[in-house]
Structure 1
């Protein structure tokens, strides 16, 4: 292997691979550490585009650009030396040529850089199109629009490169004619004239390639700049950093949650103007208490969950969990003390039924027996389905490709079984220091009447969710029927509503007696006109 081959191998294999690994690791770590607001304000297509197109440009195109600049620069320097020996007059033309190249470099990368940035951004809709195709929502008009916009950008780049190449080739031909004329009238040998003409044509092609290659690293820096913007995003607090706390010496299995005058703002990603979605909200969740959070769509129920989990920062107020200020607890420790049942239950198809059931259980502290898993499945009426699936150790993707498919309701019941097992493990290993809060987000969304009745039984079953502080979030009245208290979050549609109370908290009977209009509307929609 020659020295040049070793350098090429070192550049493309060792250096490029190391840089690609470091850039990808930095981008992945930064993306995973950003707050939830980044994912709410940034489309999934833009995030995928960063991991695909931008990383490809920084890893692949940048390496090629550096190699092309180095190789063409060597050819240009060699040709200039031979031309200087063949025709010393060429040294007089060289400064003019360098000045022309510098002028080209001063304006060409700026224009090409803007076009390249538009080209990278226009690839994001392609991932949207892929997702819509997979979901059966393919739209030919949108695809045609994207193709047309990309064609316009590509035409801009091609026209600019063709014009630049024609200008440089024309200049090279003129220099060749002038050099031949000067060579014929001088004392140079015929051999030197031939060398000069040959090297001049080589120099023209090399300068054309060098000019294009010289701008490529700057164009690749556009993608690296986009990656750097993600890497520079402000991350969440250190998940393991915990300040001094004043936790009680003994806590029940259910958490004691206190919120005092909390407010949450939502910042519009387009205008940057904050909008208050929660205002001066206060409540107290006693251990083992069940509270329904109800309100109209857009009243701020999701913002309350985000604030409890510190996905969204509080603009005012404080939240205490078993006497500890939630802002002082490390994110990892805080989120271990909260169990969430999402509105759309998640199932990992590549994992077995056993792995899906034990995903919320710390298996380092407790190993669940098969009898525990079957008991949890039986309590949610999924034991017969588990037998049809082939047992606990069959990957779900091998089953769902056949005749048996998990419906949304069955996935929700499976999530309830996971929650039962997690509560069982917490109850067994409870150290008396940290209580647990359960948050059920629209638990009835995918359940039928039988599943709804089953959920009500589990909430009052001492061996299931009994003893745990439970927060049930819903925009309907149903969860109120089996809860101790109700947290009514009001939505303010007008500026005049800012002076009114933003929430109501208390037993359902009290809210009925107070004739709360918002609570009355929810009850009327559920067909309830009186509380017994």
Structure 2
């Protein structure tokens, strides 16, 4: 009875401590993951991260503390068995030494092999998670190009490759069981032999006692190795999870205290000799760029693909660390501002709008900081008259059109009332009609905010106050659209902006006329 109570309370204590430890490690990992810089997610595929958050955490959750407890208990049981048999029949000591050495060699060989097999199984499982994620995000393109069979076959190859190591692991388990059964048979045979040869001295009671223990040694040895191997897998998982808890997060704190100030209150942006790069060993993507955006200006950022337009936006949010230079908003160096304060002081309409499952209201105001009336007014200002705050939104906003999702992001930006609004090629994925509605809504509702527009279509920025023209990370043009178009360069240098306009063919005349009309209205 005492043993039963002891084991019961030991099991409760072990399980409770194990669950608490698992929960604490999981919370620390997630807390760190959400604060890691964007460069971490560029370097690490989603499958690898999911593997650690799911499979490794499951290894930790599935009774790792219980496994350690059982391992210790079975080791003590094996030692007690050998001791008991040796006490009953001292000659068994001659067999115990070789049996222990054989057991030590078998478990060492098995554990080293299985450890490598499990590592390979885990390594080949991560690409499967990534493959699923890529397939789900690109299912439209896969169907459009008729690549369904190719993707199915590719998945089959990856699964077969992964299953090879699972099969090898199962084979290794059978190899272990056969050898442990052999060792167990040796122990029982030796116990029986010494018992029979010393029957008169030992007596039937002690012989039965010794044989009873001998029959349990195989099971105990098998449990020791298998459970400890599973515990080792848990140790590896803990090590991998703790690796994520020790990664350096983004620097959240700042040296400038702006908590009780309205910042920015004007919307002036200054780039001073800014050089940006994603990795130290790679060349910079933006090189020694300097310019000033005055409060309330509409500034278009244009250039060919890969010229550094989106990198400029990322630097404003401190998603890329500066190699050189400074970025100032209203005279304050943004590297000295608390990161949450900086990012909540800016509003953005991205090229791929972010919409969550829930309602229109929860997407507009996830923290419940605004009234129902304010949300409804923001929807009307964004030209979303057919939606209400209670309209349900499915995962990723799949029940809304691309244009509606963009306008929803605009309503969210209008609700924030920030002095700076960034449009990161917001109309690149919409049809011309939706593009027109979005542009008209922005012009009507933006007011005196500073507007940065990263442009894919030139007609969205020809009415800008200033254009920034980037080429291979360098600022090669800065000024009013019509001035950039008519500018001539010494030494036969090409006018890159004029080349971009010329690519529009018959539509270029309308663009040029629009630039001239805007310049005339600005001077007037």
* TM-score normalised by length of structure 2: 0.85
Pick from 222, 233, 243 the counterpart of residue 236 of structure 2: 222
Give the Cα separation in 1 of the matches to 2:186 and 2:103.
16
8 Å CA contact 1:245, 1:325 repeated in 2: no
SS in 2 for 1:243: coil
SS in 2 for 1:2: helix
8 Å CA contact 1:309, 1:334 repeated in 2: yes
SS in 1 for 2:322: coil
Pick from 63, 77, 80 the counterpart of residue 78 of structure 1: 80
Where do 1:215-294 residues align within 5 Å? 215-237=229-251, 239=252, 241-244=253-256, 253-267=265-279, 273-294=281-302
Q: Which residue of 2 aligns with 1:344?
A: 352
Give the Cα separation in 2 of the matches to 1:453 and 1:133.
31
Could you tell which deviates more after superposition, 160-169 or 449-458? 449-458
Query: In 2 relative to 1, CA 143–244 (structure 1 residues): closer, same or farther, beyond 3 Å?
Result: closer
Matched, 1:471 2:452: yes
Q: Which residue of 1 aligns with 2:8?
A: 5
Matched, 1:311 2:311: no
8 Å CA contact 2:349, 2:413 repeated in 1: yes
Return the offset for 1:86: 1.9
Could you tell which deviates more after superposition, 199-208 or 333-342? 199-208
Pick from 443, 457, 463 the counterpart of residue 440 of structure 2: 457
Return the offset for 1:335: 1.0
Q: Which residue of 2 aligns with 1:417?
A: 411
8 Å CA contact 1:260, 1:317 repeated in 2: yes
Matched, 1:63 2:65: yes
8 Å CA contact 1:281, 1:503 repeated in 2: no
Query: In 2 relative to 1, CA 392–84 (structure 1 residues): closer, same or farther, beyond 3 Å?
Result: same
C-alpha deviations, 1:150-205, integer Å up to 9, x for none?
A: 22101221222222221222122223323322222223223333332332221133
Matched, 1:395 2:376: no
Query: In 2 relative to 1, CA 414–244 (structure 1 residues): closer, same or farther, beyond 3 Å?
Result: closer
Q: Which residue of 2 aligns with 1:122?
A: 124
Query: In 2 relative to 1, CA 439–236 (structure 1 residues): closer, same or farther, beyond 3 Å?
Result: same
Give the Cα separation in 1 of the matches to 2:164 and 2:239.
24
Query: In 2 relative to 1, CA 490–230 (structure 1 residues): closer, same or farther, beyond 3 Å?
Result: same
Query: In 2 relative to 1, CA 105–275 (structure 1 residues): closer, same or farther, beyond 3 Å?
Result: farther
Q: Which residue of 2 aligns with 1:150?
A: 162
Return the offset for 1:522: 1.7
Return the offset for 1:506: 1.7
Unaligned runs of 5+ in 1: 427-435, 493-500
Q: Cα RMSD over matched residues?
A: 2.8
8 Å CA contact 2:297, 2:450 repeated in 1: yes
8 Å CA contact 1:101, 1:211 repeated in 2: no
C-alpha deviations, 1:128-154, integer Å up to 9, x for none?
A: 454435864563212211221122101
Q: Which residue of 1 aligns with 2:519?
A: none
* TM-score normalised by length of structure 1: 0.84
Matched, 1:196 2:210: yes
Q: Which residue of 2 aligns with 1:520?
A: 498
8 Å CA contact 1:35, 1:236 repeated in 2: yes
Query: In 2 relative to 1, CA 244–397 (structure 1 residues): closer, same or farther, beyond 3 Å?
Result: closer
Matched, 1:358 2:365: yes
8 Å CA contact 2:121, 2:165 repeated in 1: yes
Q: Which residue of 2 aligns with 1:163?
A: 175
Unaligned runs of 5+ in 2: 143-147, 489-493, 517-524
8 Å CA contact 2:265, 2:330 repeated in 1: no
Give the Cα separation in 2 of the matches to 1:375 and 1:277.
41
Query: In 2 relative to 1, CA 468–87 (structure 1 residues): closer, same or farther, beyond 3 Å?
Result: same
Return the offset for 1:411: 1.4
Give the Cα separation in 2 of the matches to 1:64 and 1:203.
20
Q: Which residue of 1 aligns with 2:521?
A: none
C-alpha deviations, 1:339-392, integer Å up to 9, x for none?
A: 1111122233312x3333335x882xxx4462x544443343321x12xxxx43
Return the offset for 1:301: 1.5
Aligned residues: 488
Give the Cα separation in 1 of the matches to 2:315 and 2:136.
35
8 Å CA contact 2:420, 2:451 repeated in 1: yes
Give the Cα separation in 1 of the matches to 2:264 and 2:73.
72
Matched, 1:174 2:186: yes
SS in 1 for 2:414: helix
8 Å CA contact 1:34, 1:234 repeated in 2: yes
SS in 1 for 2:97: helix
Q: Which residue of 2 aligns with 1:140?
A: 152
SS in 2 for 1:255: coil
Return the offset for 1:487: 0.9
SS in 2 for 1:481: coil
Give the Cα separation in 2 of the matches to 1:355 and 1:246.
28
8 Å CA contact 1:380, 1:454 repeated in 2: no
8 Å CA contact 1:19, 1:59 repeated in 2: no
Give the Cα separation in 2 of the matches to 1:333 and 1:133.
34
